[in-house]
């Protein structure tokens, strides 16, 4: 099924290993075929992967974009263990991520990890010091 994509001016999109940068006008196009696609706003970089959930997201994002889950399996398991230690209350979300990864539904796993990132933020953030 073709995917319709609309990009705002200067918005970026990652298609496989390629980054496409839009010009200064809005653009609309259709992608045919089975290729991994992520908008730039849905990506995490090594520099921004500063929490266990974001590191897991980066790992699964790499698995998805490189279309090579087996190569990154050990990294995935290490990231998942770190996340489970950091957010034990989010077991239902980590299990959902595991199910999606095992089924090869990496984009769905990324969506679940975005929810984990939201759950993790208050738990990981440093506590405020009250006067």
With 0-12 / 13-18 / 19 or more C-beta atoms within 10 angstroms meaning exposed / middle / buried, residue 43 is: middle
* Calpha distance 26→120 (Å, rounded): 35
In a domain, 127, yes or no: no
In a domain, 97, yes or no: yes
Number of domains in the chain: 2
One domain for residues 79 and 22: no
In this prediction, residue 122 carries a pLDDT of 55
Task: Give per-residue pLDDT as tens, 109-127.
Answer: 999 999 888 877 654 444 4
Range list of β-strands (E), the chain: 3-7, 12-15, 18-21, 27-31, 37-39
Q: What does the DSSP 8-state code read for residue 1?
A: -
Output 101 or 86, whichever has higher pLDDT.
101
One domain for residues 25 and 75: no
In a domain, 12, yes or no: yes
Task: Give per-residue pLDDT as tens, 11-48.
Answer: 999 998 899 999 999 999 898 988 899 999 999 999 99
One domain for residues 57 and 78: yes
* Calpha distance 27→45 (Å, rounded): 25
One domain for residues 63 and 35: no
One domain for residues 99 and 67: yes
Domain extent at residue 28: 3-41
* Calpha distance 8→26 (Å, rounded): 5
* Cα 2 to chain centroid, rounded: 22
Task: Give per-residue pLDDT as tens, 48-87.
Answer: 999 999 999 999 999 999 999 999 999 999 999 999 998 8
One domain for residues 62 and 37: no
* The Cα angle at residue 127 between residues 125 and 130, in degrees rounded to 5: 150
In this prediction, residue 60 carries a pLDDT of 97
């Amino acid at each position: 099924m073709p995917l319709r994509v609309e990009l705002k001016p200067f918005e970026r999109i990652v298609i496989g290993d390629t980054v496409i940068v839009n010009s200064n006008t809005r653009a609309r196009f259709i992608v045919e075929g089975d290729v991994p696609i992520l908008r730039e706003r849905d990506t995490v970089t090594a520099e921004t992967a500063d929490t266990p959930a974001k590191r897991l997201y980066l790992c699964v994002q790499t698995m998805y974009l490189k279309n090579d889950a087996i190569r990154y399996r050990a990294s995935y398991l290490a990231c998942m263990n770190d996340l489970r230690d950091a957010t034990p209350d989010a077991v239902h979300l980590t299990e959902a991520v595991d199910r999606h990864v095992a089924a090869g539904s990496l984009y769905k796993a990324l969506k679940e990890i975005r929810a984990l990132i939201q759950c993790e933020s208050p738990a990981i953030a440093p506590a405020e010091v009250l006067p």
